[in-house]
Amino acid sequence: MQELFKNTHDALIFAFNYSSQQYALSPMSKLMKGNGSGTGKGLVSIDGAAQAGIIRSRIARLPALQAACIVARYAPRFEECPCCQGRDKLTDDYREAVATLTEWAIGHCAGITLRNMRGAIIRSFFERGVSISEAARQLNVPKATAYDQKARIHRALKEFDVIAQRAVATSIEDMCML
């Protein structure tokens, strides 16, 4: 298989951000493609969708927690809400990955049983702007407890994220120039 990406990061960014709304090449575009115009690797239309699908299928073959970690790191996080036309709705992929990791976090935080607090801690690992103190205030969790749990979960998640990154790199290394 031809190496299409400089590294694993580029391949994952491509796979998670490939738009399902792209269209097939027009006849004129196909003719122009043969004239040497364009410097890309041809990942448009069906070729791009196929390549994104191959990468996503390899991620899906990873153990569930590793796949969730990769999805949480690389998938788009927000999309426009159809009812309010705002960018305030979590994408399904990201929401499911955070939910999986939130359940995983039960083993790392004996003191917090609130799923929403664990979810905020997981999201704060992957997103900027998620306030642990605000989540603690809204959920009536003592700040000290929330920050103690954040430290424990983030430490464990950091180690787990490294393992997931290695696993996905091994899985898609044949597509990348390493």
Residue-wise pLDDT for 8-29, tens only, equals: 888 899 889 886 545 455 555 5
The amino acid at residue 48 is G
The arithmetic mean of pLDDT across residues 126-155, rounded, is 93
Neighbours of 82 (CB within 10 A): 7
Residue-wise pLDDT for 63-85, tens only, equals: 999 999 999 999 998 887 777 66
Angle at CA of residue 10, ends 9 and 11, nearest 5° = 90
Neighbours of 88 (CB within 10 A): 10
- Candidate from 50-54, 80-84, 123-127 with smallest mean pLDDT: 80-84
pLDDT over 70 percentage in the chain = 75
Both tokens of residue 30? 């196909």
- Candidate from 44-48, 71-75, 85-89, 112-116 with smallest mean pLDDT: 44-48
DSSP string, the chain: ----BSSHHHHHHHHHH--TT--PPPHHHHHHHTTT---S-S-SHHHHHHHHHHHHHHHHTS-HHHHHHHHHHHS--EE--TTT-SS-EE-HHHHHHHHHHHHHGGGG-TT---HHHHHHHHHHHH-TT--HHHHHHHHT--HHHHHHHHHHHHHHHHHHHHHHHHHHHHHHGGGB--
Hey, where are the domains in the chain? 1-61, 64-173
pLDDT tops 90 at residue 126: yes
Residue 51: the pLDDT is 85
pLDDT tops 60 at residue 91: yes
pTM of the complete model: 0.79
